[in-house]
Amino acid sequence: SQTIHQWPATLVQPVGSPLSLECTVEGTSNPNLYWYRQAAGRGLQLLFYSVGIGQISSEVPQNLSASRPQDRQFILSSKKLLLSDSGFYLCAWDGQGAYNSPLHFGNGTRLTVT
Amino acid sequence: SQQGEEDPQALSIQEGENATMNCSYKTSINNLQWYRQNSGRGLVHLILIRSNEREKHSGRLRVTLDTSKKSSSLLITASRAADTASYFCATDALEGYSTLTFGKGTMLLVSP
């Protein structure tokens, strides 16, 4: 069965520090991968998605970047965090070429920038 | 921009009662999905309804879709305290390659 791992679960970082969040998927090949951010009391904002290794689509211009160095690995990064980067970050996957398939989410990373 | 908008924003009921949440969207869709999120956790997929379907059931869940009104509803029957969570609708737009767009969610509190 497929599983998705996301870490760390919580993170407190000072303003101006770098960030690296990692997400890996097991039990499937060539998934579509997604990074979402959820602000308190709000819906999910799509940040990045990838349909293959090295391919990244950015939905929102911001202080963040994403990379997909391996088929089932998706990394969210920042060189210098801002206070506004605080939030709940969720990684998700669905099947490649899956037209009507659901998203499978990790358990998220709670990021607090101080 | 957010496509789906849930209503109400919050709902408080007693165990055993039914809970109804609504979702409205703006553009034509391929499908509409409902997700559940327990506090501090990731989202879990509940049910998907295609644009050519009008109603779908899964256990105690019933989803309806009215494409003419661009709206959907999620009914949870005989609710339990364990149903306490936030519920989100998400739409897959009709045009081209589309990623899911989520609404802001309905927070459901079921009291014992």
List, for residues A12-35, the tens digit of each pLDDT value: 999 999 999 999 999 998 999 999
Are A108 and B30 in contact (CB < 8 Å)? no
Neighbouring C-beta atoms of residue B53, cutoff 10 Å: 14
Which candidate, A39, A77, A37, A70, places its Cα nearest to that of A55? A70
Asked whether the beta carbons of residue A43 and residue B31 sit closer than 8 angstroms, the reply is no
What is the dihedral sign for C-alpha B88, B24, B49, A28?
Answer: negative
Contact between B41 and A107 using a beta-carbon 8 Å cutoff: yes
Digit-coded pLDDT (tens) for A40-97:
777 899 999 999 999 998 888 678 999 999 999 999 999 999 999 999 999 999 886 6
C-alpha B33, offset from chain centre: 7
Task: State which residue of chain A sits closest to B87, comparing Cα positions.
Answer: A43
User: Is residue B45 a contact partner of residue A104, using CB atoms and an 8 Å limit?
Assistant: yes
Neighbours of A39 (CB within 10 A): 13
CA torsion A109-B1-B3-B9 (nearest 10°) is 60
Kindly state whether A83 is in contact with chain B, defined as any CB-CB distance less than 8 angstroms.
Answer: no
pLDDT at B1: 44
> Is residue B2 pLDDT above 60, yes or no?
no
Touching check for A89 and chain B: CB below 8 Å? no
> Which structure tokens are listed for A65?
């970047």
The closest of B22, B35, B29 to B3, measured between CA atoms, is B29
Tell me which residue in A88, A100, A103 faces B31 most closely, judged by beta carbons. Answer: A100
- pLDDT at residue B97 above 70? no
Contact present, B46 and B35 (Cβ < 8 Å) = yes
Distance separating the N- and C-terminal Cα atoms of chain A: 38
- A42 and chain B: CB distance < 8 Å anywhere? yes
**Coil, strand, or helix at residue B80?**
coil
Tokens at A64, concatenated: 């963040």
Give the residue from B20, B24, B17 showing the smallest Cα distance to B3.
Answer: B24
Residue A108 contacts residue B42 (beta carbons within 8 Å): yes
Task: Give contacts of A 12-41 with B, CB under 8 A.
Answer: 34, 36, 41
Which residue, A90, A108, A107, A72, is CA-closest to A34? A90
In angstroms, the first-to-last Cα distance of chain B is 37
- Placement of tokens 């398939």 in the chain: A101
Which range, of A20-34, A75-89, B11-25, B94-108, averages the lowest pLDDT? Answer: B94-108
Q: CA-based angle B105:B95:B5, to the nearest 5?
A: 15
User: Half-sphere exposure of A14 toward its Cβ, with a 13 Å CA cutoff?
Assistant: 2
Comparing alpha-carbon positions, the chain B residue that sits nearest to A46 is B101
Q: How far is B15 from chain A (nearest CA, A)?
A: 24
CB of A97 within 8 Å of a chain B CB? The answer is no
Instruction: Look at residues B33, B38, B35, B34 and name the one whose alpha carbon lies nearest to residue B81.
Output: B38
